[in-house]
Amino acid sequence: MTTYLVIRNGQVKMPLLNPTIKADGTVWIKGMPVLDSQSDGGKKIGIDRLTALTRAKDYANIPADCFAKVGVNPSGLTVITQAEYRAQSRAEVEAARAARTPAQVERDRISGLYRKAYQRRDASDDCNVMDYYRIKGQADAALAKWREDYPEEAKEERRAELRAKAEKERELAQGALFYDSDGWLDEAARQARHDEFIARAEALEAEATNL
């Protein structure tokens, strides 16, 4: 028994348990075809018409390119076995690992130490607090050394942090113009709050630029 997966934009949309693969490569499940509504033909007749034809089993009037085939279809819809999908996923992970720089490898290790420290902190055994401070101390020391060894990568990480904070301030600024939970702020006060958030965002962005 073989499981196939229907994939769109890298996301698994549905599994197909032991489908029928016809000689032309089209995929059928329980006597019905797997259709690609994003094909050129599907877009031309529209989803409502395609659905009506499918329900009526009027397959002769469904555009040929709507019938999904095994492999990558012209619209990008992919139909492959679960085993192939897992193999591709493993290959992508391995390729990503192989492409990492020494700085990235060490930074990932340090992030792992912090995760482990916080897991110990949140545990309930007798050693959790002691373990937390011990592991976090190791992580802090390793991070300080990483920043010395890889100053450019450290700057880029800091820039990303600052820009993320700036983006949050800009979101708050937008909300400040429209939201007042107590209903006490007039338009001028809301504008003033907006301007404060924007000023903080601009300061953070300037700091990121000047690193």
> How far is 89 from 94, CA to CA, in rounded Å?
9
pLDDT at position 28:
96
Q: Tell me the CB-side half-sphere exposure of residue 170, using CA atoms within 13 A.
A: 11
Assign 189 a pLDDT band (cuts: 50, 70, 90). Answer: confident
Q: Is residue 183 part of a domain?
A: yes
Residue 95 resides in a domain: no
| Cα separation, 124 vs 131, whole angstroms | 12
Picking from 131, 149, 167, the residue at the C-terminal end of a domain is 149
pTM of the model: 0.57
Residue 182: what pLDDT? 61
**Is pLDDT of 114 > 80?**
yes
Q: Which domain holds residue 161?
A: 152-211
Q: Is residue 175 part of a domain?
A: yes
Rounded Cα distance between 127 and 201, Å, is 42
Helices 102-121 and 128-149: crossing angle in degrees, nearest 10, is: 160
Same-domain pairing of 145 and 107: yes
The CB-side HSE value for 180 (13 A sphere, CA atoms) comes to 15
Structural domains in the chain (count): 3
115 shares a domain with 65: no
Q: Is residue 193 domain-resident?
A: yes
Mean pLDDT of 83-90: 95
d(CA 151, CA 161): 15
DSSP for 144-184, please give it. HHHHHH-HHHHHHHHHHHHHHHHHHHHHHHHHHTT--TTS-
